[in-house]
């Protein structure tokens, strides 16, 4: 694209040429419609505005050295969106429709997909909202599915690096049997104060313990947690964390590398035992953790003694990025080539 400074893109919003929309009316999904309008005409009594019938997804498309465009695991996002739909009583969008929409909107905005060399990518944001008007608390009768895209910069501008995190006990992101396992905006509204608190204290992100006992590790902001020790990849099992597709992919890659994978409750004290740890998600793939502070208990769990990403995090990061950009073989069939 003409005037885009690819290397200095932030994780923001940039207008692109098209988005794609699909309406659910009279009990069925309609046809995909390519649209160049950025705004939505929404009834003021729509259920998404009042009662949080809103779900979203996040995935990326990458331009390879070979010029091909690769979309990472869109069927996993389609399935997670269906799970979210079941969770907040919205009609499930078929996987084929989801993937078709993602491919069409990426193709239509091809000129916004950053070049391979930039390390940037095209972020894809699907959104599903209840649109029909009502004041009583019921699921809507009508829905809108939209997918827009925006180019985003490389997460690690100064190179792959570690960050400090802080345990926040003052606020919970989600209840043990709440909506934490679904990708809904309400969880984010609930996280804003904890996130601001962490930032105000000079940390890169907030770290959540389980809401019930405040004993086990849940998530780091909008990313899953994993720790590495004794050739084992350990990640929390909990009823209130979002099932990250990046985490699922890393578990597979760790296994491929001959590591053991454990998914189980991880007590806070175990943080002293990890050789490496990271926060993982679509935005950064892995954000290695420098340390985690528990201010209330006056503890600081230093994970990276030298402040640098460890060898396992680095290897996993390079491997997953390599698959996404087409530099590494896609042995698990994760990539959809446009």
Ligand X SMILES: *Cc1c(COP(=O)(O)O)cnc(C)c1O
Residues of this chain that interact with ligand X (CB under 6 A) are: 58, 183, 219, 222-224, 242, 244-247, 281-282
How large is the angle between the packed helices 245-256 and 311-325, nearest 10 degrees?
110
CB 34 within 8 A of CB 108: yes
Residue 114's Cα: distance from chain center in Å? Answer: 20
- 218 neighbors 209 (Cβ within 8 angstroms): yes
Question: Are residues 334 and 71 in contact, defined by beta-carbon separation less than 8 angstroms?
Answer: no
C-alpha span between 48 and 68 (Å, rounded): 37
- Pair of tokens at residue 22: 């699909």
Concatenated DSSP letters of 294-336: ETTTTEEEE--TTSS--HHHHHHHHHHHHHHHTSS--TT--EE
Under 8 Å between Cβ of 113 and 122: yes
Q: Which is nearer to ligand X, 84 or 109 (CB)?
A: 84
Which residue lies nearer to ligand X by CB, 108 or 167? 167
CB 320 within 8 A of CB 285: yes
Region at 235 (left for phi over 0; alpha for psi -120 to 50; beta for the rest): beta
- Nearer of residues 142 and 219 to ligand X, judged by Cβ: 219
Q: Pick the closer one to ligand X by CB: 73 or 103.
A: 73
Cβ proximity to ligand X: between 134 and 204 the closer is 204
- DSSP states along 18-85: -EEEEEEETTEE---EEE--------TTBHHHHH--EEE--EEEEE-TTS-EEEE-HHHHHHHHHHHH
Nearest-5° Cα angle at 186, 234 to 286: 30
The runs of H, that is alpha helices, within 135-184 are: none
| Closer residue to ligand X, CB minimum distance, 182 or 274 | 182
Q: Are 38 and 15 in contact (CB under 8 A)?
A: yes
Query: Which of 219/276 has CB closer to ligand X?
Result: 219
Identify which of residues 183 and 291 has a Cβ nearer to ligand X in the complex.
183
Shortest CB 219 distance to ligand X, Å: 5
Output the CA–CA distances (angstroms, integers) from residue 27 to 85, 128, 133, in the order listed.
Answer: 15, 15, 16
Tokens of 81: 């969106």
Choose between 109 and 247: whose C-beta lies nearer to ligand X: 247
CB of 174 to ligand X, least distance (A): 8
């Amino acid at each position: 694209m003409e005037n885009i400074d690819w290397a200095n893109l932030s994780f923001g919003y940039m207008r692109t040429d098209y988005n794609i929309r699909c309406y659910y009316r009279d009990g069925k999904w309609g046809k995909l419609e390519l649209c160049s309008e950025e705004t939505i005409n929404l009834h003021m009594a729509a259920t998404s505005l009042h009662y949080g019938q809103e779900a979203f997804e996040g995935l990326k498309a990458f331009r390879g050295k070979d010029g091909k465009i690769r979309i990472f695991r869109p069927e996993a996002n389609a399935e997670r969106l269906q799970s979210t739909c079941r969770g907040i009583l919205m009609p499930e969008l078929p996987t084929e429709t989801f993937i078709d929409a993602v491919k069409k909107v990426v193709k239509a905005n091809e000129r916004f997909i950053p070049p391979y060399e930039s390390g940037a990518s095209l972020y894809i944001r699907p959104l599903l909202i209840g649109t029909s008007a009502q004041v009583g608390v019921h699921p809507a009768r009508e829905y809108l599915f939209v997918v827009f895209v925006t180019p985003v910069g490389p997460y690690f501008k100064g190179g792959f690096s570690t960050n400090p995190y802080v345990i926040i006990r003052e606020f919970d992101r989600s209840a043990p049997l709440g909506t934490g396992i679904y990708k809904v905006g309400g969880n984010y509204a609930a996280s804003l104060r904890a996130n601001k608190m962490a930032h105000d204290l000079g940390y890169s992100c907030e770290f959540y313990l389980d809401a019930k006992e405040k004993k086990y590790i849940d998530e780091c902001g909008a990313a899953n947690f994993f720790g590495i020790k004794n050739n084992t990849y350990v990640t929390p099992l909990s009823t209130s964390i979002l099932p990250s597709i990046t985490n699922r992919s890393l578990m597979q890659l760790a296994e491929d590398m001959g590591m053991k994978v454990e998914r189980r409750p991880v007590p806070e004290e175990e943080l002293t035992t990890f050789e490496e740890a990271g926060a993982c998600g679509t935005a950064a793939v892995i954000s290695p953790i420098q340390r985690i502070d528990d201010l209330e208990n006056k503890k600081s769990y230093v994970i990276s003694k030298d402040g640098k990403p460890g060898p396992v995090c680095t290897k996993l990061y390079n491997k997953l990025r390599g698959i996404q950009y087409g530099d590494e073989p896609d042995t698990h069939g994760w990539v959809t080539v446009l």
